[in-house]
Structure 1
């Protein structure tokens, strides 16, 4: 009995530490730049020391396609004409201190792929997409 309790406490402590070491892992609410309204929920996860994110929920207006596809994606991109729901839009970011760099993010609204970096600021996730010297930064909110 004591051994089982020890194992349980050790597992709980280890899982808590694992989560604390990867603070961007989890669900994040994206906010539309133009309307300032929630746009989607993206789940960020870790795979082989890299970070990825996929769309798990969308907040669409009645005028929008209820099941959109990425028809503006580049035809050579495997996501071309695929459903946005469930799509992996963040790929290959790697942790570098307090930032996550070297990844790329797809904006399914316009089909463009950007280099990106992510970091936490005041409990929010900042995601900056780059094209050459130009960039745009979004703030994503933790979603429970």
Structure 2
């Protein structure tokens, strides 16, 4: 009887941990982004759950230049390393997709309204919009 009690006490935290992992947003994880002109891999980003249940993404690796800086950025981000820079923030679940966020385009240093859609477990479409005009970029999940 005592062994069953100990086994149960050990199993409960593991069960809770696995349940919280299953509850994680499906967009959370590492994704590869691509240059919109050449199609070549550009960044590895970490999509994570931020405060308030929103989704954000930060650069964890620059594939085109290891020490790249954001020369086009303005303000506090000007000439700062792209690595660890948050480039997407404030996305909220909106039915099957995400909306209400902001995305920073490192190539020109400008921010745009953002939305997203998980196309499959391995493809995430991120859109930056200016009014009704949106540009889409497909990110692929890193394994």
TM-score by length of 1: 0.85
Following the alignment from structure 2 to structure 1, what is the Cα–Cα distance between the partners of residues 58 and 134?
Answer: 21
> Structure 1 residue 116: deviation in Å?
0.7
Following the alignment from structure 1 to structure 2, what is the Cα–Cα distance between the partners of residues 132 and 12?
Answer: 42
Following the alignment from structure 2 to structure 1, what is the Cα–Cα distance between the partners of residues 40 and 83?
Answer: 18
TM-score by length of 2: 0.86
Query: Number of paired residues?
Result: 136
Q: Which runs of 5+ in 1 are unaligned?
A: none
Greater percentage in helix: 2
CA offsets per residue over residues 58-91 of structure 1, 9 Å max, x none?
111xxx5x4222121133xx32221111100001
2:133 counterpart residue number: 134
CA RMSD of aligned residues (A): 1.6
> Structure 1 residue 5: deviation in Å?
4.2
Following the alignment from structure 2 to structure 1, what is the Cα–Cα distance between the partners of residues 105 and 12?
Answer: 44
Q: Which entry has the higher C-alpha Rg, 1 or 2? A: 2
1:50 counterpart residue number: 54
1:68 counterpart residue number: 68
1:27 counterpart residue number: 30
Runs of 4+ more than 2 Å apart: none
